Structure 1
């Protein structure tokens, strides 16, 4: 069994999967609303620990399984990335798994700020003696092996704070950390899309995650601290209404592409005894979108 815990700004989701060789089977799923995370960063350790416990308990009740090890998936504005290369001399002429791992390790030796830690190394391609575009070098002959990789870093403090939340739950251990956009890409992108080139944008509550794939591998990734909550706040401020009203308007009437000639009129209940207001959906929402 594999348990994956996804820490989002608005909710904590967890899934229990039976690890089959052919096709993984979802055993149970849980989603708990939370307010202890903002733009991907924990702002209330106690609250997040409680919400994680609720989510895991729900999984255990649904599945009848006892969960001990978890994979933690998360995002946040503290995520950063860079492309790198690492090369090694092939020890015995024929490339082995040890040579590949050594090249990958060399690619991740870049100097980074002290507050950053390596989260994930994504191999893009390999080069043997100047021949690029090699996807699987093991077994090939050569003198020098070079690995071209995409490195993803996160804040050391973020990992430590997540660990504290988990450590408060004595029966849970973190198996590994994972950038959740990579999981999203595996779920929604086809191999053809990744080969030909595609940009995946995931708009959450607190962050917008962007990844670019080309030649089957990730080439660029970035996290922006502007997402659904920011849009809600902008609507609330502009119309002088509550966040609850703004969220309802966003979900009911929001649209990324809007006709400025739209004659739809929205009637919004006023707050603090103020009278009902009317706005043009087309003109007003276009103005809001242009200011985001």
Structure 2
């Protein structure tokens, strides 16, 4: 129904309600017709509306599928009761949107790379199976949470070894890249917006990139690392933490001198919760984070990283 009977649009309320341009004005106009109003607070929720900005139905996010199904049905009923003149194609003409509020408009870095990040709350398989085999339980935070890692041109260029690479050669990963990954992407966002790690929470963050194989067309590099994050220097007493190993493969196209593969995984034990990520499993439990390169051709791939709301601090932690 959402795909066939509506035009689905997604936006981050934190940006949308603040932006001072036509897009922000439109959202505030729609929200003012519902329980959120157009005040300074959150406008989070799921809105169904007409092209001219008339609210048909509203429900806050996080509802069960059967609840949302009834909301969509109700919105369609309301739409069908509108005069035909308001429903026919071409009934609404949109003018030029005008200047965009660049303060709240995030775009990927020019000539940069976009890496999709998936996070899953995992469970160890039953006794007797492979000790390194995990599964997830949908409905309890086990669905994959999504985010994006942005690498600038300077970042990814630094991961390419110098001319005439040879197996065993070590490539230094810039500190800013290690810290960006560790602080902003090794987080448990499976139940909501996570608290990110502060610089003081980083107890250990080490990543080594080594040339593993060289051919005329490509260079294959092996990434290995370790991250220990905890809200207290006494890790055993920390309210929140993540103790993870990191490994992966990065491949460089030698002819174009570009990165064509970035497959990295972090796996370890996470504990604790944040203000918007209540309901964590008790004690320490497995958490996996997977990184994979995308080309950015899908508009969804261009959604800004959660932590980039202050972009300079994200790119240079």
Q: Which category of TM-score, normalised to the shorter sequence, fits these structures?
A: under 0.3
* Larger fraction in strand: 1
TM-score w.r.t. length of structure 2: 0.24
